[in-house]
Amino acid sequence: MTFLSDFGLTLDLAIILAIDITIAVILLALMRYLQGWSVRVNSRAELADRDNFAFGVSTAGAVLALGIVLTGAITGEAANSYAMEAIGMTCYGVFGLVLIKFGRFLHDKVALNEFDKNSQIVNGNMSVAIVDAAAAIATAIIIRSVLMWAEDITVDTFIAIFTAFLISQLMLVLLTRFREHQYAKHNQGDSMQKALEQGQVAIAVRHSGYMIAMAFTFNAASHFIIYDPTAYLMNIVGWLTFSVIMLIALSVLLAIVKKLVLAQINLTDEVEKQHNVGVAAVELAISIGIALILAALMA
């Protein structure tokens, strides 16, 4: 009897695993085609015929972002039935996909509003593609943390998730505006968005590091907020307050660590004037590394 019971349990887990993987694969494939549809191009032609590296980077960011979101959808205990498992996985997966696309739309129209992102990527602008991919990944990290924070499948749950998502997008816009202010201060009022439009990859790499780092600090904020999907106002205040605190803590730590790790290197001159991708990559690594450490400490 014990053997039969164990076999039945193993079979149930295998079927649930198969359900989750099948839905995940379908959604990942859908994301690839959505990339082409969203910019009105044939994704196969862009990737294989035109060898559009920028479109490939943007698509890679979108696919990786959805994969990150799906890890939040499948983490946790299995549902009580195969149907509920399929419904739950599909609901969270589709909702995550929609939020990723909506987040990218907001990022394009609000954060990077000085140029047409889609046309830049279709024309092969690698710096814009890098920032686009990083924005998608940052949004996905945030969505995953909120999915892990939520505990059930109700209308209130999705409202709570969407509320945290909107706060995160506000934080990404504020971060972008702050980085633009810093860039303008060091470059006689020039626009960081203009630099991205001109294809300055080093600036794109550095800014990508800041966005992904901010996403991890947002994840750390989720450990301080008690899950209550009906506490609409408290959720807004809680996410906003802790996100701002974590972003300030991250900024202070980064300023200190970069002074130590990149001592005797003029970061403004190397990245913004000489377009040194190597130094920008080190900055990206420091930003994400410190954010991960900070998130681990807060957990």
Q: How far apart are CA 116 and CA 113, in angstroms?
A: 8
Residue with tokens 């901010």: 214
Among 220, 231, 207, which residue's Cα sits nearest to residue 280?
Answer: 207
Q: How far apart are CA 273 and CA 200, in angstroms?
A: 10
Q: What is the DSSP letter of 75?
A: -
pLDDT at residue 78 in the model: 54
Got the DSSP string for 55-111?
HHHHHHHHHHHHHHHHHHHH-SPPPSSHHHHHHHHHHHHHHHHHHHHHHHHHIIIII
Q: What is the DSSP letter of 73?
A: H
pLDDT at residue 286 in the model: 95
In total, how many domains does the chain have? 1
121-145 pLDDT tens trace: 999 999 999 999 999 999 999 888 8
Q: How far apart are CA 55 and CA 60, in angstroms?
A: 8
pLDDT at residue 135 in the model: 92
Q: How far apart are CA 167 and CA 173, in angstroms?
A: 10
pLDDT at residue 153 in the model: 67
277-290 pLDDT tens trace: 999 999 999 999 99
pLDDT at residue 3 in the model: 46
256-271 pLDDT tens trace: 999 999 988 998 899 9
pLDDT at residue 224 in the model: 77
Mean pLDDT value of segment 28-51? 80
Share of the chain above pLDDT 90, in %: 32
pLDDT at residue 137 in the model: 93
- Asked whether residue 9 carries a pLDDT value surpassing 60, the answer given is no
pLDDT at residue 239 in the model: 85
Amino acid found at 234:
M
H and E: helices and strands count for the chain: 12, 0
Longest alpha-carbon distance in the chain:
78
Please, which pLDDT band fits residue 8 given cuts at 50, 70 and 90? Answer: low
- The most confident of the ranges 10-14, 158-162, 280-284 is 280-284
> Is the Cα torsion angle 30, 36, 40, 41 positive or negative in sign?
negative
More confident residue, 80 or 198: 198
Average pLDDT in the chain? 85
Please, which pLDDT band fits residue 165 given cuts at 50, 70 and 90? Answer: confident
> Is the Cα torsion angle 199, 272, 289, 137 positive or negative in sign?
negative
89-127 pLDDT tens trace: 888 788 888 888 888 888 888 988 888 888 999 999 999
Residue with tokens 């599909």: 90
Domain assignment of residue 226, given as a range: 2-298
Least confident of 80-94, 121-135, 199-213: 80-94
